[in-house]
């Protein structure tokens, strides 16, 4: 019989216990989870969003959308490396201003091999945030799909990342004024979804509708592709929201749970609305409802409980459904792939609802409580509304200016004949299908 002395027994047991991470130390568990979450968020863009958007456009433009997503993944990574990250988060040990980060990490010169951010390597935090900087401009593609020049897309997205995304990211997550006010935006309701939604709306208005919009049917060319991409987005979103806890802990677990519940409820709510109004539920509707549920829970995923997530998801499915109908049928705005009514409206709705359902006085709906110094729903809701308003107005104005500048430099839109031929052949000299 093997007899293990008591000190040896304690050491053996310690092998199976989680290792605490002290200040300035790397936690293997947190690092492993954030490595996984980072891959999941990149997976959302490539291939998730690419396939989701690619299936929604007409057959002559499918390659253009895939190309746009792929090119932005590469270009935004480089822009983030050069100056995007330092504008958003600044450098360690330097007190950050309210509006923009310092240039101490220009070209990531201050990111060292053994640098630590909380309990993870600093390089991993840079990479995790880079995946957010990739997917946010990629979301905007849906607002001007099937009619934008490729050169215009690259110029606009580069300037937009630096002049819209990076400053707002700093306001909320980088030590800026909205974060200091106590804004509840766990994973990007303002930083990602409102900014992308508003920019897409501005693009759709400025560029005008696609040729034949409102009089010619423009159904998705491949819903199988879209549903495949939607499934990838659902799975990848766990990295997006639960990864924003930046730790393998209870906060990440709850964020994953509420994310899933909201996605499920958004799907069912949108499906039910179509079923009631049109007699049949559509595949396009259920996957769009899923995205609405995911986008709406994003800002609240770190501050609400499961019951609140169900309410948020159901509300998202209904509100975003009617927002889509209103934008296209009543306002006649051709936001081609419904970026504003799904992401923009969802981000606004979720940011406001986070201020309500974080209240510790709401029983089964309560979340993690108000921000420090705020002790009422009204106070938190005022902060949330301030964040929504500031993000909306700033994004609207700067995006409008950037589109004007890009239009003057290279032209935003292909001409009518080129649009009829399709962007795949006109811009890339290739076909998506050659059967």
As a whole number, mean pLDDT of residues 417-423 equals 96
Q: What letter would DSSP give residue 371? A: P
**CA 242 to centroid of chain Cα atoms:** 13
As a whole number, mean pLDDT of residues 265-283 equals 97
- Structure-block tokens of residue 430: 């290739």
Give the orientation angle of helix 223-242 with respect to helix 283-297, to 10 degrees: 10
Which residues on neighbouring strands pair with residue 116, listed in sequence order?
A: 121
Cα(250)–Cα(225) distance, rounded to whole angstroms? 35
Q: Is 8 exposed, middle or buried (0-12, 13-18, 19+ CB in 10 A)?
A: exposed
As a whole number, mean pLDDT of residues 411-434 equals 96
As a whole number, mean pLDDT of residues 121-136 equals 98
Q: Which of 13-22, 138-147, 167-176 has the lowest mean pLDDT?
A: 13-22
96 confidence band (pLDDT: 50, 70, 90): confident
Which residues on neighbouring strands pair with residue 413, listed in sequence order?
A: 148
Cα(221)–Cα(109) distance, rounded to whole angstroms? 46
17 pLDDT more than 50: no
In the block, tokens 């690092």 appear at 31
pLDDT at 24: 66
pLDDT at 2: 40
- Closest by CA to 161, choosing from 98, 99, 75, 223, is 75
As a whole number, mean pLDDT of residues 222-245 equals 98
Cα(56)–Cα(71) distance, rounded to whole angstroms? 19
Q: Which comes out higher in pLDDT, residue 224 or 373?
A: 224
125 confidence band (pLDDT: 50, 70, 90): very high
Q: Are the C-beta atoms of 191 and 168 separated by less than 8 Å?
A: yes
Q: Which comes out higher in pLDDT, residue 214 or 77?
A: 77
Tens of pLDDT, residues 161-216: 999 999 999 999 999 999 999 999 999 999 999 999 999 999 999 999 999 998 89
14 pLDDT more than 60: no
Cα(300)–Cα(199) distance, rounded to whole angstroms? 22
Q: How many CA atoms lie within 13 A of 7 on its CB side?
A: 0
pLDDT at 5: 47
- Closest by CA to 145, choosing from 202, 75, 200, is 200
103 pLDDT more than 70: yes
pLDDT at 184: 95
pLDDT at 373: 84
151 pLDDT more than 60: yes
- Structure-block tokens of residue 204: 């759709």
Peptide bond into 47 cis (omega under 30): yes
As a whole number, mean pLDDT of residues 80-85 equals 98
In the block, tokens 């396009």 appear at 284
The three-class DSSP label of residue 301 is coil
Q: Which of 10-19, 39-48, 227-236, 288-297 has the lowest mean pLDDT?
A: 10-19
Q: Is 329 exposed, middle or buried (0-12, 13-18, 19+ CB in 10 A)?
A: exposed
Tally helices (H) and strands (E) across the chain: 19, 2
Output the CA angle 138-167-184, nearest 5 degrees.
85
As a whole number, mean pLDDT of residues 27-37 equals 98
65 pLDDT more than 60: yes
As a whole number, mean pLDDT of residues 295-320 equals 97
Q: Which of 142-151, 289-298, 358-367 has the lowest mean pLDDT?
A: 358-367
Counting residues of the chain whose pLDDT is more than 90, the rounded percentage is 88
As a whole number, mean pLDDT of residues 119-134 equals 98
Q: Is 208 exposed, middle or buried (0-12, 13-18, 19+ CB in 10 A)?
A: middle
Tens of pLDDT, residues 318-372: 999 999 999 999 999 999 999 999 999 999 999 999 999 998 888 788 788 888 8
Q: What CATH architecture is 28-414?
A: Orthogonal Bundle (1.10)
Q: What letter would DSSP give residue 210? A: P
The three-class DSSP label of residue 212 is coil
Counting residues of the chain whose pLDDT is more than 70, the rounded percentage is 94
Cα(403)–Cα(207) distance, rounded to whole angstroms? 9
Cα(419)–Cα(55) distance, rounded to whole angstroms? 18
- Closest by CA to 415, choosing from 427, 406, 404, is 427
pTM of the model: 0.93
How high does pLDDT run on average in the chain?
Answer: 93
């Amino acid at each position: 019989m093997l007899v293990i002395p008591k000190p040896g027994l304690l050491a053996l047991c310690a092998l199976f216990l989680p290792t605490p991470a002290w200040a300035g130390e790397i936690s293997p568990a947190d690092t492993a989870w954030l490595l996984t979450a980072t891959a999941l968020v990149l997976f959302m863009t490539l291939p998730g969003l690419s396939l989701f958007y690619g299936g929604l456009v007409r057959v002559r433009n499918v390659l253009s959308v895939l190309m746009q997503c792929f090119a932005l993944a590469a270009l935004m990574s480089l822009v983030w490396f050069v100056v995007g990250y330092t504008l958003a988060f600044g450098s360690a040990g330097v007190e950050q201003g309210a509006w923009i980060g310092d240039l101490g990490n220009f070209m990531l010169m201050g990111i060292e091999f053994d640098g630590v951010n909380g309990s993870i390597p600093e390089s991993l935090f840079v990479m995790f945030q880079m995946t957010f900087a990739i997917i946010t401009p990629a979301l905007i593609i849906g607002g001007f799909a099937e009619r934008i020049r490729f050169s215009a897309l690259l110029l606009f997205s580069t300037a937009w990342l630096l002049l819209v995304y990076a400053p707002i990211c700093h306001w909320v997550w980088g030590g800026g004024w909205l974060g200091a006010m106590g804004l509840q935006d766990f994973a990007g309701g303002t930083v990602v979804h409102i900014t992308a939604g508003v920019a897409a709306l501005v693009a759709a208005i400025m560029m005008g509708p696609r040729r034949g919009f409102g009089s010619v049917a423009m159904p998705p060319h491949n819903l199988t592709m879209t549903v495949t991409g939607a499934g990838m987005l659902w799975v990848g979103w766990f990295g997006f929201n639960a990864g924003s806890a930046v730790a393998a802990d209870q906060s990440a677990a709850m964020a994953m749970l509420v994310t899933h519940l909201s996605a499920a409820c958004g799907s069912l709510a949108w499906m039910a609305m179509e079923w009631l109004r049109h007699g049949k539920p559509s595949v396009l509707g259920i996957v769009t409802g899923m995205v609405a549920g995911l986008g709406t829970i994003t800002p609240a995923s770190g501050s609400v409980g499961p019951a609140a997530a169900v309410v948020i998801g159901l509300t998202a499915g209904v509100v975003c459904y009617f927002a889509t109908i209103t934008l296209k049928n009543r306002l006649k705005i051709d936001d081609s792939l419904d970026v504003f009514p799904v992401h923009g409206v969802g981000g606004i709705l979720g940011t406001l609802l986070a201020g309500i359902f974080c209240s510790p006085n709401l029983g089964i709906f309560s979340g993690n409580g108000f921000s420090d110094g705020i002790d009422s729903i009204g106070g938190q809701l005022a902060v949330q509304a301030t964040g929504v308003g500031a993000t909306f107005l700033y994004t609207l104005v700067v995006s409008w200016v950037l589109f004007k500048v890009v239009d003057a430099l290279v032209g935003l839109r292909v001409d009518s004949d080129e649009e009829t031929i399709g962007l795949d052949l006109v811009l890339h000299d290739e076909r998506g299908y050659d059967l």
